[in-house]
């Protein structure tokens, strides 16, 4: 009887100790022989809540191995996100404690819809910026199928808000019309002072999309023909910084082969420090597997590219829309096996229908109904942190390694 009572008392004491637990150890492991710096990792908050026995009102604080507080973000899908630094083939240890954070993370990844600019959905981080065209653009008949790009330099802070504000300024455009009525060349010089198609010291829009896949859109292929998606119909921002931006784009139902109402959904995620978006594409209402392609419009007749279906990535050296604006390096990586990868040229007649582009650089996989097609896409610019095509090729090859060997996170 005494032994039984002692056992029950021990259980109660252990339970009390567990309920008072105030610290967790987070170990981030790097299996690769390359350093991983500033890579956003995820800690499931349901596990943190359970192990620390947190109430809804309880906060947590994150520390590195030196005892310094680390800022973090809580994501829409209940993850604690932070930027981890892990040496090659090593571990980094962090600690989560009960408490209220005192260090705030500056906003790096951010975006919003711009109804004032034909419903653009635009987003960025410290490296790159993007936009997807919205319903207002489609309503006026513009065939903008692909993603557009905003190159950035000289700043890690969000700049799209100020770029749009200048570009859409009624006062600036009123002055432009006034000057244009008298002097076309002077009006052009004035336009350079406020349009985002000129670099004001932190980047610009110098990429052409038109009726192509632009800077990385994925599309189904039916009877050897790309089924071009038009503009998104609805958008929902799920995460809006400071470390991760996530948006869900939904498209109007459309006909694909024998299926009359196929609805496309894209879940796009951009993390701080990355040149590439993670995108999961799904198609509701599709009755059979189909080929799916993702890639880039070819603006050069003789493209400089890498396309390796076995290594699951493609890269392309692109020209910009104006003189003396450098080169853009596009790339996409694919976790699943590819069937083929390479350039597909347009005929002269097709060029007329696709904004005079020369074709696409495409990677082809297979879409299985009910299973999202996941890939990563983005770019670099030789006036920012990517020096040349060789540096971009190295970045993409290293990214594929990281994609195939993600940082491992354990919590105890």
Domains of the chain, residue spans = 20-105, 110-159+202-404
The arithmetic mean of pLDDT across residues 184-201, rounded, is 95
Four-way CATH pick for 110-159+202-404: 2.30.30, 2.70.98, 3.30.870, 3.40.91: 2.70.98
DSSP string, 254-310: EEETTEEEEEEEEEEEEETT-SEEEEEEEEET--S-EEEEEEEEE-SSS-EEEEETT
pLDDT confidence bin for 324, thresholds 50/70/90: confident
The arithmetic mean of pLDDT across residues 182-192, rounded, is 95
**What CA–CA distance (Å, rounded) separates 100 from 103?**
9
Q: What is the layout of strands, in order, in the sheet containing 340-345?
A: 225-226, 215-222, 290-298, 359-367, 340-345
**What CA–CA distance (Å, rounded) separates 150 from 328?**
10
The arithmetic mean of pLDDT across residues 337-352, rounded, is 97
Name the 3-class secondary structure at 8. Answer: helix
Q: What is the pLDDT of residue 21?
A: 59
Residue 11 has pLDDT above 80, yes or no: no
DSSP string, 63-105: E-TTS-EE--EE-TTSEEEEEEEE-TT-EEEEEEEES----PP
pLDDT confidence bin for 371, thresholds 50/70/90: very high
Instruction: Determine contact, residues 295/306, Cβ cutoff 8 Å.
Output: no
**What CA–CA distance (Å, rounded) separates 141 from 135?**
10
Residue 20 has pLDDT above 90, yes or no: no
User: Which residues touch 253 (CB under 8 Å, ≥6 apart)?
Assistant: 260, 261, 262, 263, 285
Residue 14 has pLDDT above 50, yes or no: no
Instruction: Determine contact, residues 411/47, Cβ cutoff 8 Å.
Output: yes
User: At the topology level of CATH, where does 20-105 sit?
Assistant: Immunoglobulin-like (2.60.40)
Q: What is the pLDDT of residue 99?
A: 95
pLDDT confidence bin for 339, thresholds 50/70/90: very high
pLDDT confidence bin for 15, thresholds 50/70/90: very low
Residue range 132-170, pLDDT digits in tens: 999 999 999 999 999 999 999 999 999 999 999 999 999
Q: What percent of the chain has pLDDT over 90?
A: 92
Name the 3-class secondary structure at 351. Answer: helix
**What CA–CA distance (Å, rounded) separates 361 from 329?**
13
* Residue of 267, 228, 265, 230 whose CA lies nearest to 250: 265
Residue 43 has pLDDT above 80, yes or no: yes
pLDDT confidence bin for 1, thresholds 50/70/90: very low
pLDDT confidence bin for 322, thresholds 50/70/90: confident
The arithmetic mean of pLDDT across residues 59-88, rounded, is 97
Q: What is the pLDDT of residue 46?
A: 95
The arithmetic mean of pLDDT across residues 283-296, rounded, is 98
Residue 345 has pLDDT above 80, yes or no: yes
Residue bearing the bigger pLDDT, 4 or 387: 387
**What CA–CA distance (Å, rounded) separates 400 from 269?**
17
**What CA–CA distance (Å, rounded) separates 83 from 90?**
16
CA 172 to each of CA 139, 192, 374: distance values in angstroms, whole numbers, following the listed order: 26, 11, 42
């Amino acid at each position: 009887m005494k032994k039984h009572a002692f056992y029950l008392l021990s259980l109660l004491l252990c339970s009390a100790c567990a309920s008072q637990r105030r610290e967790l150890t987070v170990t981030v492991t790097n299996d690769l022989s390359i350093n991983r710096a500033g890579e956003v990792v995820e800690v499931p908050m349901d596990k943190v809540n359970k192990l620390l026995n947190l109430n809804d009102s309880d906060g947590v604080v994150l520390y590195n191995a030196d005892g310094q507080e680390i800022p973090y973000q809580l994501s829409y899908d209940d993850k604690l996100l932070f930027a981890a630094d892990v040496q090659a083939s090593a571990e980094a240890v962090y600690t989560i404690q009960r408490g209220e954070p005192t260090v705030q993370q500056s906003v790096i990844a951010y975006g919003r819809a711009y109804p004032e600019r034909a419903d653009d959905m635009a987003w960025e981080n410290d490296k790159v910026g993007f936009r997807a065209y919205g319903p207002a653009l489609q309503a006026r008949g513009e065939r903008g199928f692909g993603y557009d790009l905003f190159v950035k330099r000289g700043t890690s802070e969000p700049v799209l808000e100020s770029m749009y504000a200048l570009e859409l300024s009624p006062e600036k455009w009123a002055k432009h019309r006034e000057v244009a009525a008298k002097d076309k060349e002077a009006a052009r010089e004035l336009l350079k002072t406020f349009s985002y198609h000129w670099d004001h010291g932190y980047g610009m829009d110098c990429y052409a999309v038109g009726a192509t896949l632009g800077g990385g859109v994925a599309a189904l292929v039916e009877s050897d023909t790309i089924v071009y998606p038009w503009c998104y119909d609805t958008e929902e921002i799920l995460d809006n910084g400071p470390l991760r931006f996530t948006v869900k784009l939904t498209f109007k139902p459309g006909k694909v082969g024998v299926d009359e109402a196929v609805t496309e959904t894209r879940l796009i995620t951009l993390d701080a420090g990355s040149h590439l978006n993670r995108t999961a594409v799904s198609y509701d209402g599709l009755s059979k597997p189909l080929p799916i392609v993702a890639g880039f419009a070819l603006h050069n007749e003789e493209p400089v590219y890498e396309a390796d279906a076995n290594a699951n990535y493609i890269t392309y050296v692109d020209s910009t829309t104006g003189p003396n604006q450098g080169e853009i390096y596009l790339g996409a990586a694919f976790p699943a096996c590819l069937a083929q990868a390479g350039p597909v040229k347009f005929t002269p007649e097709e060029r007329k229908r696709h904004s005079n582009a020369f074709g696409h650089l495409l990677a082809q996989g297979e879409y299985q109904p009910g299973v999202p097609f996941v890939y990563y896409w983005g770019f670099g610019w030789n006036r920012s942190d990517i020096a040349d095509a060789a540096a971009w090729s190295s970045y993409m090859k290293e990214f594929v390694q990281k994609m195939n060997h993600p940082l491992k996170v354990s919590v105890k």
